[in-house]
Amino acid sequence: IAGITQAPTSQILAAGRRMTLRCTQDMRHNAMYWYRQDLGLGLRLIHYSNTAGTTGKGEVPDGYSVSRANTDDFPLTLASAVPSQTSVYFCASRATVSNTEAFFGQGTRLTVV
């Protein structure tokens, strides 16, 4: 089934540890995004990528990094996790050329303790 997959679905992480959230899509979408969802704040853009090999910063990029080595994968890395990074993280993808709407993954609930 075509779609976008995130892993893990949930994780408890000790502060200071490094963590990579995985995101894979099989729809050949050129654009991919990472959002974080926090109560009362909605979803905010962390990083994005318009095409393989390029990335850019969103609204709340500090403490996060991304890479886009190929079309399908867009991992999000927390180099040294802090409690304020406790959130639900969503990956999304979109085919901007055909102006289709974004597909979202099922989200990763991350708790930093």
Partner 1 sequence: AQTVTQSQPEMSVQEAETVTLSCTYDTSESDYYLFWYKQPPSRQMILVIRQEAYKQQNATENRFSVNFQKAAKSFSLKISDSQLGDAAMYFCAYRSAGLGTGTASKLTFGTGTRLQVTL
d(CA 29, CA 77): 21
**29 counts as binding partner 1 under rule CB under 8 A:** no
Whole-number Cα distances in Å, 20 to 23, 31, 45, 98 = 10, 19, 17, 30
Considering only 70, 80, 84, 96, the residue that binds partner 1 (CB under 8 A) is: 96
Considering only 23, 94, 110, 112, the residue that binds partner 1 (CB under 8 A) is: 94
Closest CA to 67 of 83, 49, 45, 84: 49
Stretch that binds partner 1, among 12-20, 63-71, 72-80, 99-107 (CB under 8 A): 99-107
Q: Do residues 49 and 56 make contact, with C-beta atoms less than 8 angstroms apart?
A: yes
**97 counts as binding partner 1 under rule CB under 8 A:** yes
**56 counts as binding partner 1 under rule CB under 8 A:** yes
Give the residues lining the site for partner 1 (CB under 8 A).
Answer: 31, 33, 35, 40-45, 48, 50, 56, 58, 88, 90, 92, 94, 96-97, 99, 101-102, 104, 106-107, 109
